[in-house]
Amino acid sequence: MRDANLHKVLIVDDERDMLNMLAKVLVKKCGCSVVTAASAEEALECIHADPPDVVLTDIKMPGMDGLEFSRKITAIDTAITVILMTGYGTIEMAVQALKDGAYDFIEKPFDNERIIHTVSRAIERTRLLRENVQLHHRLSNNEHLHGFIGRSRRLLQTVELLGRIARSNVTVLIRGESGTGKEVAAKALHALSDRADRPMITVNCPALPEHILESELFGYRKGAFTGADRDKTGLFVEAEGSTIFLDEIADIPVGVQTKLLRVLQEKEVQPLGQNKTFSVNVRVVASTNQNLEEKIRRGEFREDLFYRLNVMTVIMPDLASMVADIPLLAQHFLEHYSREHGRENLEFTTDALQYLMQRQWQGNVRELQNVINRAVLLCRESSIAINDLRDDQGVSDFQENAQSQECGFSFLGGQQPYREAKNALLHQFNASYLADALNTANGNVTVAARSCGMERQAFQRLLRRYHIESRSFR
């Protein structure tokens, strides 16, 4: 009985010397288990008894030839990778076999290095295809961990920690890079807590100017300021008995930080324009992708607030530490966006999955999600290939165009209708302006927006409109 950990290669040829030679080479150089068969009929019996990972078969054989044999293998198991051996006069047949689903062909006389390389890649292809099928079944069975997808050690440790602290009332600070799922972690904390019967309140801190953020959090009384024509209940009061999630808390202005500290210390809020305070029973969860310790040193974040928030810290792992989870995440997003865009039955090529696992993901899971969304929407074939996943356009084009023109933009005067020329010029100017602002601010959206005299939220809308990603400038 063969070792279950060894990959199995089935070699099919009617020449015994050829079988023996190939078996010795593959066992020695590929470290795989090798089974041989002298005919396609004998090989099919082997496949039914114990399916191999790779079949290396000659085309010209008595009885069933390699082309028909290859088609029968595909009908049995599409994950088995077929490599054809072809001599002079059968290359056209081999090319046809590739169109029918064979993986590759090798011409006689053989180059041992070519055989070793091709079989090794074929083994890897089958491994990925079978893992992909398993991942598909696991997704179909809805094996999600409180909104998280994956089985890597780092992720399981994080989910286990969330489960241990969920039922307590301690304040939690969730830290991690952009796109690592901090909001998913906050939702998991709330869902696993005794407060789950009430909706969690989420506050996107960077999206609100200081005066609006303050009134949203703490509420106000009629006449507290110009335009306050009625009483407003603050979000802390609305979150009574529940959880309030302060997303990207590092961007809260210092003035609001002082009032937030009181809520954490005294468990009470004071609406604007009123002397009376209200006790609140709210569990506070905050998140940040910034270095709070550095902001404290610069006087941009209160140290006492930091220690009030940092009662329990959860560090979200980045995608680089969860590479094994990338196929599962990719399959999840593929199925989601295939349904959304009406592109059913899409799948990844083997090379595409390998590319996803090898690529650097600065934007972590969110970047992976966006790449697959775009690939599902734009790919022309039934399979998503590497080229569908690459993003070679975008911000770099704006930067190159700006550098190539003396004034930063150009237009075809007189060669386009006036309106089209004007719109093209405005588009180029806006893209160049935004890219330059981000470049000066080293990719910090808040700093770039401030230098442009804009609210952060408005600046972000422009970035999305012109498909510019701030991380490209960091």
For residue 36, what pLDDT is reported? 94
For residue 417, what pLDDT is reported? 63
Residue type, 74: T
pTM of the model: 0.57
For residue 408, what pLDDT is reported? 43
For residue 392, what pLDDT is reported? 55
> How confident is the prediction along the chain (474 residues), in pLDDT tens digits per residue?
455 567 899 999 999 988 999 999 999 888 899 999 999 999 999 999 899 999 999 988 999 988 899 989 988 888 899 999 887 666 677 677 777 778 888 888 888 888 999 999 899 888 887 776 665 554 444 345 677 888 788 888 998 899 889 999 999 999 999 999 999 999 999 999 999 999 999 999 888 888 788 888 888 878 777 777 788 888 999 999 999 999 999 989 888 898 899 899 989 988 888 788 888 999 999 999 999 999 999 999 999 999 999 999 999 999 999 888 898 899 889 999 999 999 888 999 888 888 898 888 989 999 999 999 999 998 988 899 999 998 653 444 444 444 444 444 444 445 556 666 666 677 777 777 888 888 787 778 888 888 888 878 778 878 877 778 776 666
Q: Which two tokens stand for residue 196?
A: 């789950």
For residue 315, what pLDDT is reported? 95
- Provide the pairing of β-strand 383-384 with 232-233: unpaired
CA distance 106 to 114: 8
Closest by CA position to 182, among listed 119, 279, 239, 247:
247
